[in-house]
Amino acid sequence: MLSKNRKELPLIDDGNCGDADGGALLKKGPWTSAEDAILIDYVKKHGEGNWNAVQKHSGLFRCGKSCRLRWANHLRPNLKKGAFTREEEHLIIELHAKMGNKWARMAANVKSSPKVKKIQVLVNLYPSSSSIAHIRLPGRTDNEIKNYWNTRIKRRQRAGLPLYPPEVCLQALKESHRTSAVSGGDKGTHDILQNNTYEIPDVIFDSLKANQNVLPYVPELPDISASCMMMKVLGSSQYSSFMPPAIHRQKRLRESAAFSPGYTAAVKNDCPLFEQFEDNMFDKAAQPFGQSFPFEPDPLTKKSQSFSAFQGSHALSHGNFSASEPTLEAVKLELPSLQYPETELENWGTLSCSSSLLESIDAFIQSPQTTSGVVLDSLSPRNSGLLDALLHEAKTLSSAKNHASDKSSNSSTPCDIAERSNFNTCETEWENYGETLSPMCHSATSFFSESISASGSSLDEQPPAETSTEPHTKSGSSDHVLTPEVEKEAPFWSDGSCPDTLLASNWLEQGSGYDKDHTIMIDAIATLLGDDLSGEYRSMLAVTTVSSQAWEPSWCAWNNMPAVCQMSELP
């Protein structure tokens, strides 16, 4: 009855939609074909924009917002209708891992500011960046993508699956770790997210990587937000809940299998553990998460150990996000549509991270310090959660490498506390740095160790890290000059053990053509921009080419860059 009435008597706008006609009642609700025809006719005559004028000129009793939305989502040409293809599904997942809930950017329908268009011109002129065009999901609307994603979240949540597939998790974390070595600690992830600054470095250096293949290491600021987002979502009690409410196992299985079968198959092929993960999931789902998941791995079998590490990302999420409130708040901000119950937050700390560890982390965050002669002032994380702390940790490790600082002997640090915590996982050379470098090092160390183990087994067929304090693979790999090939084939976190500054340094010293091209690009920027951007970009780009040590400030400067760079919008 209600729907019939609604159809026959469409809702009338109460004025929220503009009331452009000074009190005229505007229609709400579903559009009719007649209204569509009117709108199409109007756009044909007057073009897009000035949507509030539609009502005046066409007699359509719809507010401007409604018209714009109808046109953008349904009537405009080149819209791609129908179900998402497998490729598009992949792309959405990847893009969301990188961008978060930036639906419009995924759909590539954002407009550019004048400044950004200058950059676009530059990009157009700079041949090596010709592939900058990041066509995201052409023909798809932000609404479509958003709906798809939200549906996917619900589905995966119900299925008890992690929001992001393992490979995406690992990739994002890997890139996040890379990023951590080049992004300043005083530039928090929130800034990055809020400034929408990921586009420029992303597209520019992706293109450089793709075209010239001269970048053994390509810093990608967006991946801060990537991992941040991923961890946030995974870390939220809602999305990482492995206790789906009152849903039959059979249905969960059906749904998990139904979700993008091709994708699931692909993931299984690439990451066999994913299958095991799924298999085990529902057998374990009946147990309380904090106790049964992560599952107790059999330390003697590579498979299960790697699986343990594989879920390390999840354990990380659970354990870490109980560490500080700011992060929790950030989670709220970034959550797509679904909120987690506030009351569950207090339980996070019990999931996989001991309170002592959390306290040590919080204490560290609140009182950054210098250790081993490594000045951490510029690296000190803001009190914005464990991600910053992890970034800080990674930076510290990098600095430690460069400074070859002396290790202090078995001082009692929060690492000791952490050592007694639940993070009693395999130890690697990370710990050797961590012992003296950061009070929270051990948590990060443990996490990285788990990640190493994860990649080693699941992705790169590397033997799992030994449960010993004996230094191994890290020092070896870090001493090598990492060519792109070497880095690519290296175990997951081995590149992390080799500080990015070293990578950059090696790469510059090898005389790659990048510095030369970079200079050209700087000149082009200065010529083209000719305004306040010029100096800013010049300085940050220039400093990037001069010294590997300057990666951090230079890349932090990207935070001030405009948001979008899309060749698709170029004339």
Residues at the contact surface with DNA, assessed by CB under 7 A: 2-3, 6-7, 11, 13-14, 16-17, 20, 27-31, 48-52, 62, 64-66, 68-70, 73-74, 83, 101-105, 109-111, 113-114, 142-144, 146-148, 150-151, 154-155, 158, 247-248, 250-251, 255, 334-339, 563
**Residue 350: DSSP 8-state:** T
Q: To the nearest whole angstrom, how small is the minimum distance from the Cβ of residue 140 to DNA?
A: 10
Three-class secondary structure of residue 487 per DSSP: helix
Q: For DNA, give the closer residue by CB, 31 or 558.
A: 31
Sequence-ordered list of residues with C-beta below 8 angstroms from that of 405, at least 6 positions apart, any chain = 372, 373, 374, 436
Question: Tokens at residue 115, please?
Answer: 């400044």
Locate tokens 């930036």: which residue? 102
Q: To the nearest whole angstrom, how small is the minimum distance from the Cβ of residue 551 to DNA?
A: 27
Q: To the nearest whole angstrom, how small is the minimum distance from the Cβ of residue 397 to DNA?
A: 33
Q: To the nearest whole angstrom, how small is the minimum distance from the Cβ of residue 245 to DNA?
A: 8
Q: For DNA, give the closer residue by CB, 143 or 402.
A: 143
Q: To the nearest whole angstrom, how small is the minimum distance from the Cβ of residue 249 to DNA?
A: 11
| C-alpha closest to that of 430 among 420, 414, 441 | 441
Cα 197 from Cα 412, distance rounded (Å): 40
C-beta of residue 238 within 8 angstroms of C-beta of residue 157: yes
Give Cα separations from 44 to 65, 94, 297, 460, 496 (angstroms): 18, 36, 64, 55, 55
Q: For DNA, give the closer residue by CB, 121 or 486.
A: 121
Q: For DNA, give the closer residue by CB, 2 or 404.
A: 2
Q: For DNA, give the closer residue by CB, 69 or 526.
A: 69
Sequence-ordered list of residues with C-beta below 8 angstroms from that of 223, at least 6 positions apart, any chain = 98, 172, 175, 176, 178, 179
Using alpha carbons only, how large is the chain's radius of gyration in Å? 25
Q: For DNA, give the closer residue by CB, 165 or 244.
A: 244
Indicate if the alpha-carbon torsion angle 167, 168, 173, 178 is positive or negative. Answer: positive
Q: To the nearest whole angstrom, how small is the minimum distance from the Cβ of residue 82 to DNA?
A: 8
Q: To the nearest whole angstrom, how small is the minimum distance from the Cβ of residue 445 to DNA?
A: 33
Q: To the nearest whole angstrom, how small is the minimum distance from the Cβ of residue 229 to DNA?
A: 10
Question: Tokens at residue 75, please?
Answer: 């009537």
Q: To the nearest whole angstrom, how small is the minimum distance from the Cβ of residue 61 to DNA?
A: 10
| C-alpha closest to that of 502 among 515, 483, 522, 485 | 483
Question: Tokens at residue 420, please?
Answer: 């007694």
Q: For DNA, give the closer residue by CB, 193 or 387.
A: 193
Buried residues in 235-264 as b, exposed as e (16+ CB within 10 A): bbbbbbbbebeeeeeeebbebbeebbeeeb
Q: To the nearest whole angstrom, how small is the minimum distance from the Cβ of residue 146 to DNA?
A: 6
Q: 193: how many CB neighbours lie within 10 A of its CB?
A: 22
Residue type, 69: L
Q: For DNA, give the closer residue by CB, 113 or 291.
A: 113
Q: For DNA, give the closer residue by CB, 50 or 287.
A: 50
Q: What is the dihedral of CA 385, 390, 391, 394, to 10 degrees?
A: 160
Q: For DNA, give the closer residue by CB, 260 or 554.
A: 260
Cα 302 from Cα 297, distance rounded (Å): 9
Locate tokens 């300057």: which residue? 550
Cα 226 from Cα 176, distance rounded (Å): 7
Q: To the nearest whole angstrom, how small is the minimum distance from the Cβ of residue 307 to DNA?
A: 27
Cα 161 from Cα 277, distance rounded (Å): 9
Q: To the nearest whole angstrom, how small is the minimum distance from the Cβ of residue 85 to DNA?
A: 13
Q: For DNA, give the closer residue by CB, 151 or 424.
A: 151
Q: For DNA, give the closer residue by CB, 58 or 455.
A: 58
Three-class secondary structure of residue 12 per DSSP: strand
Residue 12 — φ and ψ, nearest 5°?
Answer: -105, 135
